[in-house]
A and B are shown apart, each in its own frame.
Chain A
Amino acid sequence: MLKYIGKRLVQSIFTLFVIITIVFSLLRLMPEEGYLGAAAEKMTEAQQEIYLTNLGLRDPLIVQLGNFYQGLFQGDLGKSITYRTDVPVVDIIQDKMMYSILFGLGAVALSLLVGVPLGILMAQFKGRWLDRLGTGYIVFVVAVPAMVYFLMIQMYVTGWFGWPMLFDEYNPISFILPLISMALGPIASYAMWMRRYMVDELNKDYIKLARAKGVKERTIMFRHVLRNAFIPMAQYLPATILFTITGSIYIESLYSIPGMGGLLVDAIQRQDNQVVQGLVIFFSSLGIIGLILGDLLMAIVDPRIKLGKGDSVR
């Protein structure tokens, strides 16, 4: 197991290295105005040239890359140019991340707590009214553009209860609606997958044998079906949780939450190359960590996956 984790880590670090190098190189192709920021118009061409040389952008690419990695190992992703001038990219991400993590984790927890049991119940009462109701909900959430019900919730529900329209850090009530809105989609998908995997498992032979040996239906559900149905979900769960950090652009802008949601778009629009670069690296690292954790979680819940012994996966 440890050997496997080690191997995966080395692989991931290599992948990450490739990604970072590519991102770095690609951003060198961006217009250089991005590095000058608002000062660009006031500078003569000679001044611009000096400025860029000072930033190290006139060095050979390989030297730039080397400098960049040196910074990276010290936790330095460079300084923002136009987004928040001269503030380290790491600080920008850190400030915004807190809000996104808060809402993201809350929403994931809520959707797991509601979505998974809903899926289980739907599978248990397949074809009955509860199942139909759930299916109706899933179809609604998936088919109607999220913006529509996000807006409805903000407009009407705030009115009914007299809750604040916008997010306010010091008012706990203002957390509720963004959280619920964010959870609606994931609830639907968790319920849908859970139901599907449960139904799949319920039709398997080992369930028939369990029935034949006289195990109660309820016990079968919880002791035999549930864990088996959970396996396909386990692989993606860590990635889903990690990616909540990236925030929801809709909801954060609707409720004015100062989260990560719009950050990348903003940075691109303002040609803030440093922030874009920092964010892309950050997101790709999250993705890779999510994959590793997913594989590990799978290995923990499914004994058929013996990691390390010749790395045979199923």
Chain B
Amino acid sequence: MESTLSIQNLVIKFKLRGQTLTAIRDISLDLYKGESLAIVGESGSGKSVLVKSIMGLLDKNGYIDSGKILYNGHDLAKFKTEKDWLKIRGKQIAMVTQDPMTSLNPLKTVGKQIEESVVLHQNLKGKEAYEKTLQLLRDVGIHEVERRYKQYPHEFSGGMRQRIVIAIAVACNPDVLICDEPTTALDVTIQAQILQLLTNLQQKYGLSTIYITHDLGVVAKVADRIAVMYAGDIIEVGKTDEVFFNAKHPYTWALISSLPQLGEKGEELYSIKGTPPNLFKEIKGDAFAPRNQYALKIDFVERPPFFKVSDTHFARTWLLDLKAPKVEPPKVLQAFFEEGRRYANE
């Protein structure tokens, strides 16, 4: 498959109070044309930093230490000036932000805010831009568009505002759409609508999408592929079914085990013991090893390579090494995996 965006050996560091923090540790990841890729991981695992670097929106104290972000023949990691980035931001890669309540300028009508994108990226002006904006409002499922155009963000509900944010992103006419936790701030019924909308737009406009989320439910609904991140590294990547129902990395196991659906009634939900590693310190071996009950000696010494599970499925764990002892995932998971696979086969 042809990849649109290719991240190669990316390392991102932050300078913080005289110390250096490594937020992204040597990540390689491809985004294929037209697919939707979900990046999952807990808070602080570096998901947001990764996508921010793609748009050149890292905070001022953050920088790309090494590696490449290849897009359309450009290496985005080399971009320095605003002028460079303006060719990419919005035009090629657009973003749907997390919190619709604060993502819109409170003093401008939503119409104007969408139109700003239209004018910037579609070379339309005046009446044409206005018509296009109305069209976009319709596309994201808003009724009475002429009236809505003139309204301010505070006159919209959370779900409606998220639709506006999406309209702004789509108005840029991008190739790649990054959705940074697009549904975290919304309630469940609205979540489903927004996800449906995103899926529809992806097909209509032929977008390649990256979802960032820690909600596995969202992932299951929208993603073609999943990349699991832990402590600034991708530890498992594969097709949604593969990662869900044939997970190989103990962290992925733990992540799936903590799904409320797998918990037993009356018992406490599963949670991963311990805390994520301190990113100020150099991480040796597998970052998850100290919290990993299946950890091998080598996990504390050497970083595992990507072991190939299938053509599309890779995991960074020494458990897949030929010399490693055979370890079965926890009982609950085995049942879940089996059920999932049977369901997938049907």
B165–A209 CB distance below 8 A: yes
Nearest A residue to B95 via CB reads A212
* Contacts A213-B117, A214-B89 given; does A304 touch B152 at CB 8 Å: yes
Interface residues of B in 71-94 (CB under 8 A from A): 82, 86, 88-91, 94
> For this complex, into which size category does the number of interface residues on chain B fall?
20 to 34
* Contacts A204-B102, A209-B104, A209-B168 given; does A214 touch B120 at CB 8 Å: yes
Chain A residues positioned under 8 Å from B154 (CB to CB): 303-304
* Contacts A214-B86, A216-B86, A304-B154 given; does A208 touch B107 at CB 8 Å: no
B107–A216 CB distance below 8 A: no
Is B258 located at the chain interface by the 8 A CB criterion? no
Q: Looking at chain A's contact residues, is the secondary structure mostly helix, strand, loop, or mixed?
A: helix
Is A169 located at the chain interface by the 8 A CB criterion? no
Is A157 located at the chain interface by the 8 A CB criterion? no
A212–B90 CB distance below 8 A: yes
Indicate with 1 or 0, residue by residue over A217-242, a CB within 8 angstroms of chain B CB atoms.
Answer: 10000011001100100000000000
Q: For the complex formed, measure the closest distance between the CB of B114 and the CB atoms of chain A, giving whole angstroms.
A: 10
A215–B82 CB distance below 8 A: no
Q: For the complex formed, measure the closest distance between the CB of B91 and the CB atoms of chain A, giving whole angstroms.
A: 6
Is A8 located at the chain interface by the 8 A CB criterion? no
B89–A212 CB distance below 8 A: yes
Chain A residues positioned under 8 Å from B108 (CB to CB): 224
Chain A residues positioned under 8 Å from B94 (CB to CB): 212-213
A214–B104 CB distance below 8 A: no
Is B169 located at the chain interface by the 8 A CB criterion? yes
Q: For the complex formed, measure the closest distance between the CB of A10 and the CB atoms of chain B, giving whole angstroms.
A: 28
Chain A residues positioned under 8 Å from B95 (CB to CB): 209, 212-213
Is A17 located at the chain interface by the 8 A CB criterion? no
* Contacts A209-B97, A304-B154 given; does A214 touch B121 at CB 8 Å: yes
B97–A212 CB distance below 8 A: yes
Chain B residues positioned under 8 Å from A205 (CB to CB): 97-99, 102-103
Is A295 located at the chain interface by the 8 A CB criterion? no
B57–A214 CB distance below 8 A: no
A211–B89 CB distance below 8 A: yes
Indicate with 1 or 0, residue by residue over A291-310, a CB within 8 angstroms of chain B CB atoms.
Answer: 00000000001111000000
Q: Complex: how many Å from CA A146 to CA B97? A: 48
Nearest A residue to B91 via CB reads A214
Nearest B residue to A213 via CB reads B90
Q: Complex: how many Å from CA A302 to CA B97? A: 24
Q: Complex: how many Å from CA A227 to CA B106? A: 10
Is A283 located at the chain interface by the 8 A CB criterion? no
B168–A208 CB distance below 8 A: no
B82–A217 CB distance below 8 A: yes
Q: For the complex formed, measure the closest distance between the CB of A253 and the CB atoms of chain B, giving whole angstroms.
A: 43
Nearest A residue to B102 via CB reads A205
Is B210 located at the chain interface by the 8 A CB criterion? no
Q: Complex: how many Å from CA A253 to CA B116? A: 54
Is A125 located at the chain interface by the 8 A CB criterion? no
Q: Complex: how many Å from CA A213 to CA B114? A: 10
Is B105 located at the chain interface by the 8 A CB criterion? yes
Of B55, B106, B169, which one neighbours A228 at CB under 8 angstroms? B106
Q: For the complex formed, measure the closest distance between the CB of B165 and the CB atoms of chain A, giving whole angstroms.
A: 7
A303–B169 CB distance below 8 A: no
Q: For the complex formed, measure the closest distance between the CB of A169 and the CB atoms of chain B, giving whole angstroms.
A: 44
Q: Complex: how many Å from CA A243 to CA B146? A: 44
B90–A302 CB distance below 8 A: no
Q: For the complex formed, measure the closest distance between the CB of A232 and the CB atoms of chain B, giving whole angstroms.
A: 13
Chain B residues positioned under 8 Å from A163 (CB to CB): none
Q: Complex: how many Å from CA A231 to CA B104? A: 16
Q: Complex: how many Å from CA A61 to CA B15? A: 74
Chain B residues positioned under 8 Å from A216 (CB to CB): 82, 86
Q: Complex: how many Å from CA A209 to CA B104? A: 8
Nearest A residue to B60 via CB reads A127
Of B97, B107, B120, which one neighbours A215 at CB under 8 angstroms? B120
Of B90, B98, B106, B152, which one neighbours A214 at CB under 8 angstroms? B90
Is B172 located at the chain interface by the 8 A CB criterion? yes
Is A140 located at the chain interface by the 8 A CB criterion? no
Chain A residues positioned under 8 Å from B57 (CB to CB): 208, 211-212
Q: Complex: how many Å from CA A49 to CA B26? A: 98
Nearest B residue to A228 via CB reads B107
B107–A213 CB distance below 8 A: no
Q: Complex: how many Å from CA A228 to CA B102? A: 13
Chain A residues positioned under 8 Å from B121 (CB to CB): 214
Of B55, B99, B107, B117, which one neighbours A302 at CB under 8 angstroms? B107
* Contacts A204-B102, A224-B105 given; does A213 touch B86 at CB 8 Å: no
Is A206 located at the chain interface by the 8 A CB criterion? yes
Q: Complex: how many Å from CA A212 to CA B55? A: 7
Other A-B pairs beyond A205-B102, A212-B169, 17, CB < 8 Å:
A205-B103, A206-B103, A208-B103, A209-B95, A209-B165, A210-B116, A211-B89, A213-B90, A213-B94, A213-B95, A213-B168, A223-B116, A228-B107, A302-B106, A303-B107, A303-B152, A304-B154
Residues of A within 8 A of B (CB): 204-206, 208-217, 223-224, 227-228, 231, 301-304
**Contacts A/B (CB < 8 Å), 15 sampled:** A205-B97, A208-B57, A208-B97, A209-B95, A209-B104, A210-B105, A210-B116, A213-B116, A214-B172, A228-B105, A228-B106, A228-B107, A231-B107, A301-B107, A303-B106
Residues of B within 8 A of A (CB): 55, 57, 82, 86, 88-91, 94-95, 97-99, 102-108, 116-117, 120-121, 152, 154, 165, 168-169, 171-172
Q: Which 8 A-B pairs have the closest CB atoms?
A: A214-B90, A214-B89, A205-B102, A212-B95, A213-B90, A303-B152, A205-B103, A206-B105
